[in-house]
Amino acid sequence: MSDQELASHWEDILKKEGMPMEVGVDRGAAALKEQKMAEAGIPLRDIQNEVRLYWLSRDEGSDFGAHVQKAREIAHRFGVSEEIINSDFMRSIEDEISEAQMAVQSAASELTSRSASLAFRPDMLRRQLMIKMTESFGEDFSRSVISALVDEYISRLDIQ
């Protein structure tokens, strides 16, 4: 398939999914960047999970300085530049975490609607959410990130 045919093929797919071409180009560029980083031996999943844990554990009042400091720590730990952490990870993770938090809340609602007793047993609800979220997120999120998401949800319940 020629480059022109390939571009046309993907443009058709994006149109069917209702996405503008710009979104597809952005996603393609991001995927290419991730591929090049992986080829360079940069542990993408580990860095993503570290940034996710930061977003989940940070104080609501965190300022930009706290983000810069954490980016420095992560960059130093993984031997990459701060710019990679800031541009490739910090900016994209915040929205991803919000979506994951909504998924946990939705799963909890589904579980408690099936078994009302779970609403009064945070330990049981936590166990069920861990199973469900591990299945949902697959290999994308580490177990510690899933645990932090579930614990955050459980901590907001009034049944402690």
Res 6: pLDDT: 65
CB–CB of 79/120 below 8 Å? Answer: no
Query: Which sequence spans correspond to the domains of the chain?
Result: 1-41, 42-155
Res 114: pLDDT: 87
Calculate the average pLDDT of the chain: 81
pLDDT interval class at 131 (50, 70, 90): very high
Q: What are the tens digits of pLDDT across the range 59-110?
A: 777 777 788 888 889 989 988 888 878 777 777 787 888 899 999 999 999 9
**Count of C-beta atoms within a 10 Å radius of residue 117:** 9
Question: pTM, whole model, 2 decimals?
Answer: 0.69
Q: Classify residue 13 as exposed, middle or buried by CB count within 10 Å of its CB (0-12, 13-18, 19+).
A: exposed
Indicate the SS3 state at residue 62: coil
Least confident of 10-19, 22-31, 145-154: 22-31
Q: What are phi and psi of 147, to 5 degrees?
A: -60, -45
User: What whole-number percentage of the chain has pLDDT above 90?
Assistant: 26
The encoded tokens of residue 104 equal 């946990």
